[in-house]
Structure 1
Amino acid sequence: MSSGTTNLRIASINTNGIRAAFRKGMGAWLDARDVDILAIQEVRASTEDIEGLLGPEWNILHDAATAKGRAGVALASRAAASIHRVAIGEEEFDSAGRWLEADYEVNGQIVTVVSAYVHSGEDGTPKQVEKYRFLDGMAARLPEIAAHSPLAVVVGDLNVGHRTLDIRNWKGNVKRAGFLPKERAYFDRFFGEAGATVEGVDGSTGPGLGWVDIGRQQAGEVDGPYTWWSWRGQAFDNDTGWRIDYQMATPGLAARVTGYSVDRAAAHDERWSDHTPVVVDYAI
């Protein structure tokens, strides 16, 4: 790497409750990973809890869910953010605990990082209506973020497997939340050519937004690599997983990727969340 270039390591993890994750070994993983910015979803704890677990060397931004003990997103960084924002979607839409943006100055450039936690949803219920409202909010917000900063990335548990490569048992899930054609069509547009008319997998059309799926860019046309496995049965041992944790970047930032990793645990009993961290290095 040339002089004047900083390696920025951004990691994202749905902790399924950060206190439980630390009891099971998250701290050892974090100590070994040399992360600069850590995006957390499903915090399920107070800001004081996060500060106590991570320690004073981290700067913490936390947006808790309206309902105590639910959801919650955070950004922890070695250097403090210059500004942060939390609003997404319609003014009356409660997105608390699900969307946290922050600007970081890196080598004189602004890098915008978003920790996002999309609703899991349930087809045919109000939960799915809320999920679509959130995805609508993302569709409106992503162009604004890209206009604000050419170096931007949205990371987190987005709770949608975009393509058949992203779910091991995709045929059994085409009518389930997380792999519904209407959900996947949003991602067709997120990752579609900027400004082009994109036809979604559900037959809908809309403008492509031009963001880049770093996981697919780096892994290529292969199954996975998966980022979530059910605790039940042999899902982890058989790698029957879903790739629902993303780092999706503007083209300007995507061009600066120097490393990509899904930190899958070595064994089932070494897991500290049902998700696994997604870690990406960017040359800034």
Structure 2
Amino acid sequence: MRIITLNLNGIRAAAKKGFFDWLALQQADIVCLQEIKAQPEQLTDSLFHPQGYYCYYHAAEKKGYSGVALYARRRPDAVQTGIGWADIDIEGRYLEARFGDLRVISLYMHSGSSGEARQALKFSFMARFLPHLETLRQENQSTIICGDWNIAHKPIDLKNWKGNIKNSGFLPEERAWMDKLLTETGYTDAFRVVNPDAEQYTWWSNRGQAWAKNVGWRIDYHVISDSLKNSVQTAKIYTEQRFSDHAPVIIDYSI
């Protein structure tokens, strides 16, 4: 099974950059998208419902903002739009599909880089989300949470880690939360199961020459139930083309 996740930074903008042409060649079974920045009435064109996929969207109430999507070759047994928390769901940050004993989630976690209020909301979400993931783990389903987590876990996951210790996305509290998630709650960073290499990034600032110099951050993940750890076959970040300021993370599983 091939699963792709990508923050599009606007699905319509990514479409103009060739995202859907590329996607048609990837033989992906499930595709998780974040930051679609579009309302349902703006997604009626067949382009946004690729042939061979069942397509689900969860838009933010605010136009041109946030939103997630999930495409699947197989019709899900159930789809959950939103996590059930009003402050999160109005921003379109969580979409869940279930396939037998497998659950796949498209997640767009907050960025706190715009100020203290947004960082506080991010911390609030994190405080609630960890118990939610622990509850999911106790159910009789394996889980894959794909998306933009807006946290670089370890120094290997961003170029200039020393200069970002006080910045959102690499705060000690955020990294400690990821430590707990990936060591105490039964989840694994799927990419690192098979790819231990440095300078593997999924996001680059549009400022300066970040992309050209590969001054990036790895903030997009497949976080999987520990039960799936042995099923991870290959993991790569696609950088030959650019569809947004993020890059697709492609992982093949023997599921």
Partner of 1:272: 243
Residues 235-282 of structure 1: per-residue CA shift (max 9 Å, x gap): 1111110000000100112221112111112xxxx4111100001111
Q: Report 1:232-271 matches (<5 A).
A: 232-265=207-240, 270-271=241-242
C-alpha distance in structure 1 between counterparts of 2:171 and 2:151, whole Å:
8
Confirm whether residue 157 of structure 1 aligns to residue 148 of structure 2: yes
Partner of 1:93: 87
Q: Report 1:6-25 matches (<5 A).
A: 8-25=1-18
Contact 1:258–1:281, Cα closer than 8 Å, also in 2: yes
4+ residue segments displaced more than 4 Å: none
Contact 2:194–2:233, Cα closer than 8 Å, also in 1: no
Partner of 2:254: 283
Contact 1:211–1:249, Cα closer than 8 Å, also in 2: yes
Partner of 2:23: 30
Q: Which among 161, 184, 187 is matched to residue 211 of structure 1? A: 187
Confirm whether residue 52 of structure 1 aligns to residue 63 of structure 2: no
C-alpha distance in structure 2 between counterparts of 1:262 and 1:101, whole Å:
23
Partner of 1:180: 171
Q: Which 5+ residue runs of structure 1 have no aligned equivalent?
A: 1-7, 193-207
Contact 1:88–1:137, Cα closer than 8 Å, also in 2: no
Q: Report 1:105-116 matches (<5 A).
A: 105=100, 110-116=101-107
Cα deviation, residue 46, structure 1: 2.9
- How many pairs are equivalent? 252
C-alpha distance in structure 1 between counterparts of 2:166 and 2:143, whole Å:
33
> Percent of counterpart pairs with the same letter?
38
Query: Secondary structure, in 3 states, of the residue corresponding to 2:203?
Result: coil
* TM norm structure 1: 0.84
Q: Which 5+ residue runs of structure 2 have no aligned equivalent?
A: none
User: CA, structure 1 residues 274+123, in 2 after alignment: closer, same or farther (shift >3 Å)?
Assistant: closer
Cα deviation, residue 92, structure 1: 4.5
C-alpha distance in structure 2 between counterparts of 1:237 and 1:255, whole Å:
35
Cα deviation, residue 213, structure 1: 0.4
Partner of 1:203: none
Matched letter for residue 152 of structure 2: G
Matched letter for residue 189 of structure 2: D
Matched letter for residue 209 of structure 1: T
* TM norm structure 2: 0.93
